[in-house]
Amino acid sequence: MGAALHDLLAAAAVAGRTCAGLVFLLAATQKAQHWRILPGVIANYRLLPRWMNGPAAALLPPAEMVLAILLLSALFNPWPSLAAMALLTLFAAAMAINIRRGRDHIDCGCGESFLRQTLNGTLVARNGLLVVLLMPALATGGHMTMPMILTATAAGIGLFLLYLLLNVFAALPPADARGHRFA
């Protein structure tokens, strides 16, 4: 692999891990803040036996926090990226199953209580995009210069801010024909 391609993949890996790590950090924090309603949110998906909703709700925020810390660490180990990709794929599958069942009215439970969003294909695609952002982390490792690390980290933060902005737009109530928004 050429040096320029290696550097590009390495930078993409750091940017993807930074963005996904911040997404998991935000999700874990917000789920932990709303721990009382999390079992109900999980139950709304109707994918687990009832007795598993409580344990799943208890394990999810710490698991997301551990993934966030590992993704944001300087260690170039593919396992945190693989675990994050698996969890994001699981979440996307759960949303897609419920959309297919006609249960798109339920809250996604993505952790942003002030931006409640019902299930839709955009949320499924968002998780798929986060998986794609993590893929370069599976193919890279090795030495990076400090300017490359800082640039790639800044790119990851920029991607995370874009993620937040798109979530705000997606959560806006629909507008009528005159452009007025309904709450």
- Residue range 164-169: average pLDDT? 85
- Give domain status of residue 110, yes or no: yes
The whole-number pLDDT of residue 110 equals 76
- Give domain status of residue 27, yes or no: yes
- Per the model's pLDDT, the better-predicted residue between 74 and 48 turns out to be 48
Mean pLDDT of the chain: 88
Query: What's the domain range around 95?
Result: 3-170
- Give domain status of residue 179, yes or no: no
What is the SS3 assignment for 180?
A: coil
pTM of the model: 0.89
- Give domain status of residue 123, yes or no: yes
Give how many domains the chain has, as a whole number: 1
- Give domain status of residue 176, yes or no: no
The whole-number pLDDT of residue 179 equals 62
- Give domain status of residue 33, yes or no: yes
The whole-number pLDDT of residue 167 equals 81
Q: Is 102 exposed, middle or buried (0-12, 13-18, 19+ CB in 10 A)?
A: exposed
In the structure encoding, which two tokens stand for residue 62, read together? 């710490």
The whole-number pLDDT of residue 142 equals 65
- Give domain status of residue 183, yes or no: no
Which has the closest alpha carbon to 63: 24, 100, 106? 24
